Structure 1
């Protein structure tokens, strides 16, 4: 005696529906595996549960199989399309940024100021004043550091000079001592 024919309609009882989904999902995954082994077929299977959880089986790389499917059906590779669109947008954004920075550079150099209004000119003047003050501050700091290094060098040279004079004085005194000894011995 075989099984009776099952009427295909949505199962209303949520528990029964979940049990049926789980059993049939496992059976479908098993059949996909068997088909790939027995027939050496490239199989990819994706199942989404009613709760949104994904289940998948792929006999080979899933992305490769989906790419083959898209090429066969004639669908564009959306990832490649999205990537190309992303880079086009990125290039356009960078081009706009480069133009903006070039214009700003020219304004800071005092060029092409006719397009600026009073508000922009005042802001540019404040930025230039702040920049000049930062430059002066850095310059003062560098001068101060350089002066300190020169003072340290001067001190070292003075110490070295004092040591050399001391050595010269000792050498002169020693040669007099030896000269006096030799003249007394004769």
Structure 2
């Protein structure tokens, strides 16, 4: 039969609680003995019953085991601070940080113009001076950003001007080249016109006769 899982809580019935204590005490003492024999471990076990009765087991000597334990704990405390001291230190640091956070949040609200009801004249004057210094710093930074932007725009404008000049120069060379080609075409057309002005009348005969005919056209 499978035993159900035992709920870990105080047994309310006194008789059942005493029976359970006796059984588990004997089992714990038996396990301590087995551990010391099987593993060659130094084991010391101390049990006080609800009524204050002492039950103990020691694989060697209870006193020597306790002294060894105390010596070991002393060495640990010498190297590491006590846990309670650490916790106390952490609590103090946490409280200090919380106070700083509250102070910063209050200062932030005051800079935003909130929570000024409890401020004195001196505190208000100090707050005003802080805001004035902040405004001066912000304006100086703004002017610096403006100057940087203006310088960037000037550099960009210079680059665009250089590019525009290069394009204009290139376009001018192309235009002059086109004009020269047009002049060459006009000259060629003039030569063709001159050739077309030469006499093209058909004449059969010797060249001398043609010349005479030209000088005396009435003979024909």
TM-score bin, normalised by smaller chain: 0.5 to 0.7
Return the alpha-carbon distance in structure 1 between the equivalents of residues 125 and 153 of structure 2: 42
After superposition, what is the alpha-carbon deviation per residue over 1:49-84, rounded to whole angstroms, capped at 9, x for unaligned?
Answer: xxxxxxxxxxxxxxxx9899339xxxxx74433332
Q: Structure 1 40/182 Cα, relative in aligned 2: closer, same or farther at 3 Å?
A: farther
Equivalent positions of 1:87-126 (< 5 A) are 87-126=90-129
Q: Tell which structure's C-alpha radius of gyration is larger.
A: 2
Return the alpha-carbon distance in structure 2 between the equivalents of residues 181 and 82 of structure 1: 106
Residue in structure 1 matched with residue 167 of structure 2 by the alignment: 164
TM-score by length of 2: 0.48
Q: Structure 1 170/82 Cα, relative in aligned 2: closer, same or farther at 3 Å?
A: farther
Return the alpha-carbon distance in structure 2 between the equivalents of residues 146 and 83 of structure 1: 55
Q: CA RMSD in A?
A: 3.1
TM-score by length of 1: 0.56
Partner SS, residue 137 of structure 1: helix
Residue segments in structure 2 that go unaligned for 5+ positions in a row: 1-39, 43-67, 75-79, 190-220
Return the alpha-carbon distance in structure 2 between the equivalents of residues 142 and 130 of structure 1: 19
Equivalent positions of 1:1-186 (< 5 A) are 69-70=72-73, 78-182=81-185, 184-185=187-188
Offset at 1:172?
1.4
Offset at 1:184?
4.1
> Aligned pairs, how many?
120
